[in-house]
Amino acid sequence: MFSPQSPWYAWDGWNARLFLVINHAGDNPVWNNAARLGTALAEHQLLPVYMGLALSIALRWPRVLPVRSVLVYAWGNLLLFLAVYGLLKPLASFPRPLAVFGPHAVHVLGEPKFVHSFPSGHAAFAAVVATSFAFSLPRPWGLLLWLFALWVWWARIAVGAHFPADVIGGAVVGTLCALAAHGLVRLWVRGGRAA
């Protein structure tokens, strides 16, 4: 059930086919740099930077970004770390496109990786960003965050790091973690008022 050949993951071969189409769609400086930048902006090491920026904005302009949303973002990332790196990646250990197709068939930008393809941590990270903040920010900014997430999701396939199912899985896991964090923060705030 939990293997790269499972119907929920392989999509009757379409997961691999879609990867090859997206991965080979462009090979020019604009395409490659956009893919590299989309990946770099969703690196997990940037979490403290994003937290610092979000907290600074929330404390200065609380009507634009409530502090509560920053707490959702922090807790969403904690849940994400536990779900992706504590459970799913070790459990799945699916091969990455480079291991499946070989270096002659995959357009790789960046460090070649071969294992732990499902789910995409970068895709999950982008989903947590968008889901944590998009609903509390004014509409244009929220839309911008969802466009950022779409960019990251595309970039992970374009750089040759993940199959589409990995990206969708990461997006779903990240969104669920942020939604769970929304619920936990709601209970936390309600509990604090009752005390």
What pTM value is reported for the model? 0.91
pLDDT tens sequence across 138-191:
888 889 999 999 999 999 999 999 999 999 999 999 999 999 999 999 888 776
Residue type, 146: W
**CA atoms of 187 and 125, how far apart (whole Å):** 23
- Amino acid 102: pLDDT: 94
Tokens representing 139 are 């509409």
Q: What does the CA dihedral 83, 174, 10, 86 come to, rounded to 10 degrees? A: -10
Q: Please answer whether residues 170 and 121 qualify as being in contact, where contact means their C-beta atoms are separated by less than 8 angstroms.
A: yes
Residue in the block written with tokens 């199959």: 163
In this prediction, residues 75-87 reach a mean pLDDT of 91
CA distances (Å), 105 to each of 101, 131, 158, in order?
6, 34, 13
Q: Please answer whether residues 58 and 66 qualify as being in contact, where contact means their C-beta atoms are separated by less than 8 angstroms.
A: yes
**CA atoms of 51 and 12, how far apart (whole Å):** 40
pLDDT tens sequence across 96-143:
999 999 999 999 999 999 999 999 999 999 999 999 998 888 888 889
- Amino acid 103: pLDDT: 92
Q: What does DSSP assign to residue 28?
A: S
**CA atoms of 111 and 161, how far apart (whole Å):** 9
pLDDT tens sequence across 4-17:
889 999 999 999 99
Is the Cα torsion angle 154, 159, 165, 171 positive or negative in sign?
A: negative
**CA atoms of 77 and 71, how far apart (whole Å):** 10
